[in-house]
Amino acid sequence: MRILVIEDNRDILANVLDYLQGKGYTVDCAQDGLSGLHLAVSEHYDLIVLDIMLPGIDGYQLCQRLRDDAQRDTPIIMLTARDQLDDRLKGLKSGADDYLVKPFALSELVARMEAILRRSQGGARHRLQVADLSYDLDTLQVTRQGKALKLNPVGLKLLEVLMRKSPAVVRRPVLEEALWGEELPDSDSLRSHVHQLRQVIDKPFARPLLHNLHGMGYCLAERSNEN
């Protein structure tokens, strides 16, 4: 699970990051509203932990812009020192899913996160879709134009990262970290795996989806022509 924490208090942020990472979550962070909004819109997250009192734009504005302007339904837990009913109602009306008053126990934060994630998943199947390419995360089945495609585990992980971030460009270090963590292979394994992935998802079809942006990274998207 990938979590975004937007909090300007460095001590609280450090404690939350350490605790969530210790629980196995992948965590990104921002310390102001505008940076947090940019990450929330440009990246995929399973849940956002959002402070209300932020520099730039506050949590209420960020939440509302994420819901109304960006049309994102990522679950949000708001963190705040404000404990009045009107404040809680304002947070929920702006689009938050839950509201946690500071100071809070980190174990309670995780319990609320897990409850929201269970509700948001709702037992439904998880499917990624880019153009006519589909990846069912529950069954690990990949299809394009209704035709089943066979990928090895590394190919499946690479495809998942590219599909989740589509149509954004994913830089090589991001892909390498997703595939191998800190233990990077010595050779240019990423290039080989991208080539194998392209052979499966693109070669049999008329329109390519996987594109190499030289010196930058890769993207999976419909484009007028391949770079």
Residues 87 and 153 placed together within one structural domain of the fold: no
Pairwise CA distance, residues 71 & 67, whole Å = 5
Residues 109 and 157 placed together within one structural domain of the fold: no
Model confidence at 127, pLDDT cuts 50, 70, 90, reads: confident
| pLDDT(82) > 80 | no
Domain CATH code at residue 68: 3.40.50.2300
Residues 161 and 200 placed together within one structural domain of the fold: yes
pLDDT averaged over every residue in the chain: 87
| pLDDT(226) > 70 | no
Last residue of a domain, one of 121, 139, 159: 121
Domain CATH code at residue 212: 1.10.10.10
> Which helix (H) or strand (E) element contains residue 48?
strand 47-51
Residues 114 and 131 placed together within one structural domain of the fold: no
Closest of 94, 10, 2 to residue 49, by C-alpha: 2
In the prediction, which pLDDT does 151 show?
95
Residues 31 and 92 placed together within one structural domain of the fold: yes
Classified as helix, coil or strand, 6 is strand
Looking at the structure of the chain, the number of domains it has is 2
In the prediction, which pLDDT does 121 show?
62
In the prediction, which pLDDT does 58 show?
93
Last residue of a domain, one of 55, 88, 121: 121
For 9-68, how does the pLDDT look when each residue is reduced to its tens digit (9 = 90+)? 999 999 999 999 998 888 999 999 999 999 998 887 889 999 999 999 999 999 999 988
Residues 148 and 101 placed together within one structural domain of the fold: no
Phi-psi region of 74 (alpha: psi -120 to 50; beta: other; left: phi over 0): beta
Residue 20 and residue 110 in contact, taking contact as beta carbons nearer than 8 Å: yes
Burial 31-70 (b: 16+ CB within 10 A, else e): bbbeebbebbeeebbbbbbbbbbbeebbbbbbbebbbeee
More confident residue, 59 or 138: 59
Could you tell me the residue range of the domain that residue 187 belongs to?
Answer: 127-220
Residue corresponding to tokens 């890769």: 218
Pairwise CA distance, residues 30 & 227, whole Å = 33
In the prediction, which pLDDT does 185 show?
75
pTM score, whole prediction = 0.56
187 inside domain: yes
For 181-198, how does the pLDDT look when each residue is reduced to its tens digit (9 = 90+)? 877 776 688 999 999 999
